[in-house]
Structure 1
């Protein structure tokens, strides 16, 4: 446990003793709903005395523990000092039905508002977002925290051109090394190492399967066994790679990271051939250092006899393919850190022919376009 995680626990215990009760309407003018999910809802509000716009995050008391509420609040208030992390504003209180805290309001929506289905967003805009998220994640990791929930609706826009974005929603944050039950869910954001928990009672697929009939005693016993894993930053690296793919294409490289997903198998075949026969997929291998990451870039770009590229990555330049293979390494301990992204910024990521096609599609949509619910694209529910 790092000094930051110890301090966070102490702050939660102290703030629990001073949390006040008050009526939201006495202090805020509620303007509109910004978002909602399994955690609760976020409302855009203006402080009556200060005139300051802010986002009020409401957590139902019946489904939220006081400690988990205070943990997210204090984390955002005291540790999210990076400019690309959403910060709490020092206002926390309770009502008869909710716990509430105020945070910075992002008035331009989130990444869902700028990712066009099957088209994505402009490459330079995408690289700006990647650069900022790299800094935000690296800051959290340096403090010993892992975000664990990087996805488009958790990246908020401070302007319409993504020159300033903020990563938010810290309800899933855990300290690095924390032991948690592994949960598998059908989504490209779910890491391949999580497949060891596929079929457990707490995985989404098994919850649906359980409705079909009574299982045998032996299978029931097997499903009751929980797989415990250590929380690691490599989870955020994988999510950053998937998110970048979604930003560039408006789709996902595969539906889920399992052994029977054809699109993912195509990627694994390409990845394995690119790595070479002597580089086995060893999840217990030591992490690759920064120098090795840089060497990998040069080595890959210089290869003349490269193996056939996985179809879903054929539209990208060799530079971008290196970027994706670094973050989407099936081996968690060899997966590149988020800051490896900085090695790939500035160059072209999308092949010229594909770039022309995407530009034409954007012109047809007038730069707008109905926002597809990417949860449906992922084939998953709320996390």
Structure 2
């Protein structure tokens, strides 16, 4: 994605109970405080409530206008009945710490409490989240999916470089700031934890949940890993390009997941039916990021190697059908020179699944033309 934005000086601490030191210019509140020194305010005294933006298990987000500055903000409200103060501090701290990244939603230095809730302020976008931008059963245009996934991957790569794991990657947590998707931002760090931390499984599974978590039983200890996010990123990409989930649960009892596992483990060369719209190059990435063995999953930045390749079969540059030989070459490991050669030749208009002598002649003509 080119040069990364200058993120500014490193915060003094990543202790979730201690607010990091950073300045954000935001005239969205008459006063500000830190999570260690919360101001006790009445919400209605300082903000006009416009509407609810979203509700979740742990709280809700509302659109509000600051009475003193006439600025619209998104206020995240976490009820004290279900949220411990240390949990609120952790979410605000991580949100504030990460928000200088270009593709992470801005969290302002506005944090306070009421009699019933903890509240902090974030930037607002009228364009909503990615979930509503994905046409069901159809999916997004390839160019739009590429634009989005690059930015989400950049945000995750930044988080992972700080040893932080988002743990809740899904379209609802990606905000859209431009109609052409040229700027999207990752949000909601309520589940964010440090890499290597032990947590207990308390929730059920969703299609983005990796198999190592799906297999755990309730209250079982789970080690948080950055590879959890990488799995979710792969599922997110599938959803963007198809408008469907690849499976309901990443559990062997799910027939669609089982079919994928058989292919992923190379026990069959047959591409699962719901994956056949993807080119061999993209299937190579899916095989890497959706590896059942967590230690074999690729880093999130691996996606950048595939951005310039065709991803959907009906949008391939050559306009020709994919042969079984080409599938096997494109699906091979990244260090296989034949797979890389096939991709290069295709990009120069050389048909790689025709008569060998004809192919050799075309290669010779191409080399001579250079």
Q: What TM-score do the two structures reach when normalised by structure 1?
A: 0.73
Instruction: Work out which of the residue numbers 162, 185, 204 in structure 2 matches 1:143.
Output: 162
Q: Confirm whether residue 242 of structure 1 aligns to residue 250 of structure 2.
A: no
**Which of the pair is proportionally richer in helix?**
1
Equivalence for 2:300: 338
Structure 1 residues 177 and 260: alpha-carbon distance in aligned structure 2, compared to 1, 3 A threshold: same
Counterpart of 1:126?
145
**Which residue is 1:36 aligned to?**
55
Helix, strand or coil: the match of 1:190? coil
Q: What displacement does 1:3 show?
A: 8.6
1:269 aligned to 2:231? no
Residue by residue over 1:54-92, the C-alpha shift from the partner in whole angstroms, topping out at 9 and shown as x without a partner, is: 101111111111111121112111232211111211111
Instruction: Select the structure of larger CA radius of gyration.
Output: 2
Aligned-pair CA distance for 1:184 = 7.0
Does structure 1 retain, via aligned residues, the 8 Å contact 2:145–2:240?
A: yes
Displacement after TM superposition at 1:183 (Å): 5.3
Sort the Cα spacing of 1:310 and 1:354 in 2 relative to 1 into closer, same or farther, 3 A: farther
RMSD of equivalent CA atoms: 2.3
Cα deviations by residue, 1:317-363 (Å, 9 ceiling, x for unpaired): 111111211111111111111111111112211111799xxxxxxxx
1:1-383 counterparts in 2 under 5 A?
A: 6-11=14-19, 15-182=34-201, 185-197=204-216, 200=217, 202=218, 226-273=219-266, 307-352=269-314
Per the TM alignment, residue 195 of structure 1 is displaced from its structure 2 partner at its CA by 3.9
8 Å Cα contact 2:34-2:109 kept in structure 1: no
Structure 2 residue ranges without an equivalent (≥5)? 1-9, 21-32, 318-370
- Counterparts of 1:189 and 1:4 in 2: how far apart (Å)? 33
Q: Give the SS at the match of 1:92.
A: strand
Q: Which residues of structure 1 form unaligned runs of 5+?
A: 203-225, 275-305, 356-383
Higher relative contact order (CA 8 A, sep 6+): 1
CA–CA separation in structure 1 for the residues paired with 2:286 and 2:60: 34
